Amino acid sequence: MKRLSMVNIIFTSLLSLLAFSATAQTAPATAAVTTVGTASDANCPAILHYTFNRLQDNSKQDLCQYAGKVILVVNTASFCGFTKQYEGLEALYAKYADKGLVVLGFPSNDFGKQEPGSSKEIADFCYNTYGVKFPMFAKSSVQGDQANPLYVALIKATGSTPKWNFHKYLIDRKGNIVDHYLSITTPDSHTLVSDIEKALAN
């Protein structure tokens, strides 16, 4: 009887172990593009309290590293009529980076399915075609229920949702939204450049 009891215990334990193993193997992977985190820097404005995966290598990037800078946030796409704006955005970044401007690119396939590629394909395209060096992040949604948390905050603050690729939001050094700009507003437009220069001066 003791031997049978011991066999039953071992058999039951094996069944439990196998069930646990099967559950672990079938559980869906959750490789989130973005996460909401607690900023360690007390001077980091709330709008930057997010972490995103960098486009080139998927490493996590805390947006609080850009606290104190003037930030131009842009949702991008590789196969859009406005894609050539990459050149102007990089020119803005190169001209004003030393004064405190950073351009943040968020590839998105939301509009016209014009960003279908992988992170590597997007990164290679941006660098090889337009020499993009400003920070870019893994592809995510920028509208609707699936919008990444930064865009949720930007939409809430401005009441403006991106209508197409290359919509722009300008954030000042204190984390306030200066304005938002439609896709047709080019990076070298007088209005945008003037707003950037004013924000950099403060």
Point out the residues that are catalytic. Answer: 80
Query: Which residue is listed with tokens 């980076």?
Result: 97
Give the C-alpha separation, 14 to 95, whole Å.
65
Q: CB of 132 within 8 A of CB of 86?
A: yes
Q: From residue 84, how far is each of 23, 73, 138 by CA, in Å?
A: 48, 16, 20
Q: CB of 186 within 8 A of CB of 160?
A: no
31-38 LR contacts (CB < 8 Å, sep 24+): 33/137, 33/138, 33/139, 33/140, 33/148, 34/140, 34/148, 34/149, 34/150, 35/60, 36/149, 37/62
Q: What is the DSSP letter of 98?
A: G
| Cβ count near 190 (within 10 Å) | 8
DSSP β-bridge partners for residue 141? 147
